[in-house]
């Protein structure tokens, strides 16, 4: 057991191989946790690549002045050196598995799954499959060479799942029609609204030109990609103004605006009042 750290408590199970081989890819630690309402971790900096995958509930992931609202069947990547903070929802706290990896080619394998500094969020529908790999890892809590090899293999299988899902999504672009382009565009917006993305970025991500993307949105949703992105950002901003005490500057950054004055101008134009006035109105309604 000197080569393994294993913890099993009521709401969390954790495994950490203490012997780290110098390999292309190796497991640093993994675990499963049902978080308590409002449970948070950070701000903290990691030395390894850490993936969380949500089995149930909701929460938020804060990184590089961006806030991601995540739920069941979604996950997030923490990169080495990034200052991050994440928090379980107070009403529907998330339950998640996690796996941390490192190695000479760790970033290379994560890129296969389209996980990198420009895309820290992912979705994966087959929760049972991903969970099974982590459960098998947690069962290997007695150190021997056979278990060491099994842990190595399960680590590759876990990442292989995510890479396979990304590959299938790429194939869909080539074989499916406008419904797929629309679905993937919306998913991209929902995952990246807190970044300063533009319509050109969305079109580039799904692999079509901007004009065709606009036609799809007009045909299917009777709106433009720009309008959809704006409405989504403003809805999130309203939610943050109602439910948090974040400054207007941080709310603006949380929905993709580095300039709080530009954000306030757009907010007033579409909501008929400033962000501060909106927050005060909402608080007044709660009191009434």
Domain ranges for the chain: 4-174, 176-288
For range 237-245, the mean pLDDT = 90
Confidence of residue 61 (pLDDT cuts 50, 70, 90): very high
Residue 96 or residue 219, greater confidence? 96
Q: What pLDDT is recorded for position 171?
A: 40
Q: What pLDDT is recorded for position 136?
A: 92
What is the C-alpha separation between 208 and 216, in angstroms, rounded?
11
For range 47-53, the mean pLDDT = 94
Asked: is 176-288 a CATH 3.50.50.60 domain? The reply is no
Q: What pLDDT is recorded for position 2?
A: 55
| Burial call 194-226: b when 16+ CB within 10 Å, e when fewer | bbebebebbbebbebebeebbebbeeeeeeebe
Nearest Cα residue to 155 out of 238, 244, 51: 51
Confidence of residue 97 (pLDDT cuts 50, 70, 90): very high
Q: Are 189 and 229 in contact (CB under 8 A)?
A: yes
Q: What pLDDT is recorded for position 147?
A: 78
Q: Is the pTM of this model over 0.85?
A: no
Class assignment of domain 4-174? mainly beta
Q: Classify residue 57 as left (phi > 0), alpha (psi -120 to 50) or beta.
A: left
What Rg, from alpha-carbon coordinates, does the chain have? 21
Q: What pLDDT is recorded for position 177?
A: 66
Taking residue 109's Cβ as centre, other Cβ atoms within 10 Å add up to: 20
For range 72-90, the mean pLDDT = 93
Residues 179-225 have pLDDT tens digits of 888 988 998 898 889 888 999 999 888 888 888 889 889 988 999 99
Q: Is the pLDDT of residue 132 over 80?
A: yes
Confidence of residue 31 (pLDDT cuts 50, 70, 90): very high
| Burial call 36-47: b when 16+ CB within 10 Å, e when fewer | eeebeeeeeebe
Confidence of residue 170 (pLDDT cuts 50, 70, 90): very low
Q: What pLDDT is recorded for position 269?
A: 94
What is the C-alpha separation between 179 and 31, in angstroms, rounded?
37
Q: Are 84 and 63 in contact (CB under 8 A)?
A: yes
Q: Is the pLDDT of residue 56 over 90?
A: yes
Q: Is the pLDDT of residue 72 over 70?
A: yes
């Amino acid at each position: 057991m000197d080569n393994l750290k294993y913890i099993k408590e009521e709401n969390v199970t954790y495994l950490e191989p203490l012997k780290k081989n110098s390999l292309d890819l190796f497991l640093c630690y993994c675990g499963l946790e049902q978080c308590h309402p409002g449970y948070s971790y950070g701000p903290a900096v990691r030395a390894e690549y850490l993936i969380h995958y949500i089995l149930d509930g909701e929460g938020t992931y804060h990184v590089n002045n961006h806030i991601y609202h995540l739920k069941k069947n979604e996950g997030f990547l923490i990169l080495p050196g990034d200052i991050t903070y994440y928090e379980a929802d107070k009403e529907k706290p998330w339950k998640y598995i996690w796996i941390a990896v490192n190695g000479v080619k760790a970033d290379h394998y994560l890129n296969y799954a389209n996980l990198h500094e420009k895309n820290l969020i992912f979705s994966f529908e087959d929760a049972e499959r991903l969970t099974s790999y982590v459960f098998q890892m947690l069962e290997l809590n007695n150190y021997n060479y056979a278990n060491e090899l099994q842990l190595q293999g399960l680590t590759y299988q876990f990442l292989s799942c995510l890479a396979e899902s990304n590959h299938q999504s790429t194939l869909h672009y080539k074989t499916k029609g406008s419904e797929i382009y629309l679905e993937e565009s919306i998913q991209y917006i929902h995952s990246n609204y807190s970044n300063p993305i533009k319509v050109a970025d969305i079109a580039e991500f799904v692999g079509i030109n901007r004009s065709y993307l606009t036609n799809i949105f007009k045909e299917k949703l009777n709106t433009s990609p720009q309008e959809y992105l704006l409405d989504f950002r403003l809805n999130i901003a309203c939610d943050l103004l109602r439910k948090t005490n974040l400054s207007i500057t941080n709310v603006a950054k949380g929905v993709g605006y580095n300039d709080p004055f530009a954000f306030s101008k757009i907010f007033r134009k579409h909501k008929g009042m400033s962000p501060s006035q909106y927050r005060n109105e909402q608080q007044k309604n709660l009191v009434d």
